Amino acid sequence: GVLVAGTGAAVALQLLREVAAEGGAFGGRCEARCLCCNHTSIDALMIDEFREVVAAANGRVLVNHTLTSEPHAGEDPWDRVPPRQHYPGRHHHFASSFSPFAPLGG
């Protein structure tokens, strides 16, 4: 079994893909269980990728998600993010707008 939180989802996904692959490193008979723990639904990463692995594994991979601080019904999870961490229309951690690098020439 694997317990995952935050960006550990990427590493767990690599492991689960090897389990799901018939010719993977673990062979076609290996099984895996994964529990992904996040505070809210907006913190959950790579959900679609986990679903793809589960679908491809023919019952050999099981992934469950648990939320530890999900808002009450009707409450927007973005309302719980402290203002200093969320700037609408801007990068999650920075107050300034994103300006991509533009070379002067060449």
Tens digits of pLDDT across the chain (106 residues): 899 988 899 999 999 999 999 888 888 789 999 999 988 888 888 999 999 999 999 999 999 999 888 778 888 877 777 666 555 655 555 555 556 666 677 6
What pLDDT score was predicted for residue 27? 80
Q: What contacts 86, CB < 8 A, 6 or more positions away?
A: 78, 92
Distance between CA atoms of residues 54 and 76, nearest Å: 29
Q: Which amino acid is at 28?
A: G
Place of tokens 């939320």: 67
